[in-house]
Amino acid sequence: MTLRLEGRNALITGASDDAGRAAAVRFAQEGANVFLTDRSLEAAQTVAAEVAQLGRRSAALALDVSAEDQVEKMVECAAAEMGGIDILMVADAVMHARYPGGQNPNYRLVDEPLVDWRRVMSYNLDAYFLTDRAVARAMIKAGRGGRIINYISVAALVAAPGGGDYSVSRAGAWMLTKVLALELAPHQIRVNAIAPGYLDSNMSREFYRSAPGRLEAVLRRIPLGRIGEMREIADAALFLASDESSYFTGQLLQPNGGLLIQ
């Protein structure tokens, strides 16, 4: 049986993020070689080792994805190491500037220092622009099309008091996705995004633990009555990376258990 990503080369940023790791493993299971990056070299190497155990080529690199020169070097290294880039998934982001446990209704945008705002935007928006741009240029030069997947959040669609910086950055990444989808369509480069709801992830677990009864309150809001699993996000990414989504571009997949139905 032919694997869905057989012979394809993927670049995934944010290897230490649950979504980045899950997608890397899922892509490798379907035949892709995977180049991993993260702010932590150890984290990227750990995931690269998992990919290698599946019989696929892998490599790891540490970098700051908000630094233009480092992003350009990353793309050069990935293309040289793998012989080109067919798939990009951008998953390197930060939650909030001062409250890793999640939104805090007492932390308002009108009170936020510019340095905190810029930190969130640098990783959650600037880094997406820099990475998408650099990889798109490489894909255009190669002339064989490609798939770009921006991993964002339901926060792109819902205003969250106390998490305004995160919501604005995610909404910006969603608009970036749509603009790039239009601009890159003539080159057969499809650009889509995934905006999950509540997940069983490291970042979300801090949020659930940050206040008594918070997880129970979250579950009451989700029609399916549970939080999402990372394998479900990886499967969504696989769909967008594969030929099964060949008529999808500028689209936002929303695996959220029905959170936004009402």
Number of continuous H segments (helices) and E segments (strands) in the chain: 9, 7
pLDDT of residue 236: 98
Q: Please identify which of the residues 166, 198, 208, 247 carries the catalytic annotation.
A: 166
Would you say residue 131 lies in a domain? Answer: yes
Cα–Cα distance, 17 to 69 (Å, whole number): 23
pLDDT of residue 96: 62
The vertex-234 CA angle with 70 and 168, nearest 5°, equals 60
Would you say residue 185 lies in a domain? Answer: yes
Residue 5 pLDDT > 60: yes
Would you say residue 182 lies in a domain? Answer: yes
C-beta neighbour count of 116 within 10 angstroms? 15
> What is the average per-residue pLDDT within 30-44?
96
> What is the average per-residue pLDDT within 117-134?
96
CATH code of 136's domain: 3.40.50.720
Cα–Cα distance, 105 to 40 (Å, whole number): 31
Would you say residue 261 lies in a domain? Answer: no
pTM: 0.94
Is 166 designated active site? Answer: yes
Could you tell me what percent of the chain has a pLDDT over 90?
82
Structural tokens at position 203: 């970042």
Would you say residue 102 lies in a domain? Answer: yes
Strand bridging mode 146-151 / 189-194: parallel
> What is the average per-residue pLDDT within 64-80?
97
* Residue carrying structure tokens 């969603």: 174
Would you say residue 202 lies in a domain? Answer: yes
Residue 100 pLDDT > 80: no
Residue 114 pLDDT > 60: yes
Q: Which residues constitute the domain of residue 224?
A: 9-253
Helical packing angle, 68-82 and 127-142, nearest 10°: 40
* Residue carrying structure tokens 């009555």: 225
Residue 118 pLDDT > 90: yes
> What is the average per-residue pLDDT within 30-48?
96
pLDDT of residue 99: 47
Three-state secondary-structure class, residue 58: strand
- Report CA torsion sign: 245, 246, 247, 251: positive
**Counting beta carbons within 10 angstroms of the beta carbon of residue 133, is it exposed (0 to 12), middle (13 to 18) or buried (19 or more)?**
middle
Q: Which amino acid is located at 151 in the chain?
A: Y
Would you say residue 3 lies in a domain? Answer: no
Could you tell me what percent of the chain has a pLDDT over 70?
95
Would you say residue 79 lies in a domain? Answer: yes
pLDDT tens across 188-223, in order? 999 999 999 999 988 788 778 877 898 999 999 999
Query: How far is residue 128 from each of residues 14, 98, 108, measured CA to CA in Å?
Result: 11, 21, 25
Does an H or E element contain 13, and which? strand 9-13
Total number of domains in the chain = 1
Residue 156 pLDDT > 50: yes
C-beta neighbour count of 137 within 10 angstroms? 12
Q: What is the mean pLDDT of the chain?
A: 93
Who has greater pLDDT, 188 or 162?
Answer: 188
